[in-house]
Chain A
């Protein structure tokens, strides 16, 4: 019958598609983002962060970076505690993404110092040699428009004051983007508790183990080298962290803890390298002598005086 009545077919088809739509898409509005989902410490974006979020959207960062940590062991170990609905109540639109060509960014806030992000946006390969992220050098030349940003804050109904808007004058898109990245996941109260903790006494398992030291050198290259030099370099002003010129006298347990937990101000935690890996780096650093660059490939080390 319906095969001869196009309008009837249209009505029936609409009904057919509306059943699943109402149940799985319309009804959930009743439960999602309700009071039960709220997390008191999660606040709306401030003006600079919102401007940065719009740079993130404009550049299509979500095409390569996700922003949702799944409750899976590997996800939690790599990125931090898994995502809760209440973290996203101010996200219009959400930016969960669907691919991880780059790492997830839901917990990137506070992971690296601002200076790291500045270098990384300018030249990703300098910070992460094997990265395929495009360089975003133009952002630093684009100013944030305070009036336009104020309008955005109004549209979204986010609280702000005039001092915050005036402070936008002179800020660049890079400043804004970094402010946004530093907010991601930084207002989650349990994030600190979710941190990996080493249980038991610290014992260096690789004292004078040449093989472990060689592996430590490799780990240093891939994890530490982008921020730290192994010596003083007068021409190397881009370095984010201090040069590690003389680590021989550094207490090995302190060094382990520093790498494992980070400093809390600047240097991130490198717990994800793993206890074994961190001990290898510790032994590499303790045994490294200035000028001894065997197995440590870095072009600008050449010509260094003994």
Chain B
């Protein structure tokens, strides 16, 4: 550690905090899942579904997602640039400010201060905090890259830089609002315009927060874990540029059949289908990198996480575009199918890659081998099974719900009232809540494993761990 001068302490702190916020996100998720089955679990005024659900998504996306990207980016950027972080002080300030922002977000959301915009619920003072946070982070990453000692920028750095620009543009444009008081504002846009801006943001938050950063992490750690390089550099170039070009056209696929002009919906549909190509470019690059290495799926738990993760990314990017098709959107939009889809991405793709990323860097930042590989395997199976039960139960629920909504009698009337369709969902909601408990158990095993690693006596690392 001394000779490289890499700073791992700051990485360590980000890992701890992001896992804490991730656990909060899963806990709240389990609670709101049970609230749907047992409405008496809604405790007025602070702990109702309507206030807790934004807390769940914000803790998951910003606390766990962004938090662990900070951790892993600060690790990766030092390694790929062959130099220490440009400013450790700035990163330290960012850590405190990040946690202050997350805590302020949690408190204000429970108090009911929200803008109503999905994944952008935070009110304007919190928006300002997020912008400061992002500027500080961006300066540090960009300066580290500019002053790097390795001439060539690896794929992970491209995705990192795209994330920095993308999140900045999206967040600031969608945050335009007119304050009324300290914790109340009105959107600067009205009606259909507001919806179009919001889903341009909403969908591309998925691109710039839940796609580009995990890809950066995947491209770095998969070769590190397997010991063989990425299959095709050229394919990664094509996939990168076409991905960031095409994503921004697709926001309106969240608004199919709404008053948003038809041509915007059609462009969104077409670009969504085209996006399959760059998404699968990365999937293939991952799979083909495993040529001759598939036996590692048996032997190396890290590879399991990464390959399952990229597989869910592949499934997600097939399912997503299919949902943009008008006929299919008419059927599944507004149903429980959608959370099934979303959670395959967040719990399957993003979190699998993040878990593995943390396992990869833990021996480095703690100077110890991971405490227990059997526990890491148990963690793998619990989160995999939890996520599969979640998604599959919600897909089935969504299909049943949609079928009942659209079902008509021979006399041309609707077969079911809304409440009759809702009553059918209780068994699925119960299954989903249980799946959340299984996933939570997996996360707790993960945390236990990390704590035991940190507490175990320092030992010399194996060659494999040194290599990471």
Query: Residues of A with Cβ closer than 8 Å to B?
Result: 3-4, 6-7, 9-10, 13-14, 16-21, 23-25, 28-29, 31-33, 37, 54, 57-64, 66, 68, 70-74, 77-78, 83-85, 87-104, 124-125, 128, 130-138, 148, 151-152, 155-156, 222-223, 271-277
Contact = CB atoms under 8 A, between A and B. Distances in A.
Given A93-B116, A273-B417, A13 B411 contact: no
Given A25-B251, A60-B114, 5 more contacts: A88-B195, A93-B189, A99-B334, A131-B39, A138-B44
A92 B165 contact: no
Interface residues of B, number: 99
Interface in B158-202: 158, 161-162, 164-166, 169, 173, 178, 180-181, 184, 186-198, 200
B271 interface: yes
B298 interface: no
B241 A24 contact: no
Contacts of A128: 419
B116 A98 contact: no
A152 B169 CA distance: 28
Contacts of A88: 190-192, 194-195, 259
Interface of B: 35-37, 39, 42, 44-45, 48-51, 53-54, 112-118, 142, 145-146, 151-153, 157-158, 161-162, 164-166, 169, 173, 178, 180-181, 184, 186-198, 200, 204, 241, 244-252, 254-255, 257-261, 264, 267-268, 271, 330, 333-336, 338-339, 405-409, 411-415, 417-420, 422-423, 426
Best-surrounded residue of A18, A131, A134 (most CB of chain B within 10 A): A134
Nearest to A6: B145
Nearest to A68: B258
B190 A90 contact: yes
Contacts of B251: 24-25
Contacts of A274: 409, 411-415
B419 A130 contact: yes
B118 A98 contact: yes
Given A98-B118, A99-B338, A16 B241 contact: yes
B245 A19 contact: yes
A64 B335 CA distance: 10
A60 B50 contact: yes
Given A13-B244, A134-B42, A138-B45, A70 B257 contact: yes
A276 B409 contact: yes
Contacts of B190: 33, 88-92, 94
B406 A74 contact: yes
Contact of B414 (A16, A57, A272): A272
A77 B157 contact: no
Pairs of residues from A and B, 8 with the lowest C-beta to C-beta distance, nearest first? A60-B50, A274-B413, A88-B191, A20-B248, A134-B42, A20-B249, A70-B257, A93-B187
Contact of B196 (A28, A99, A152): A28
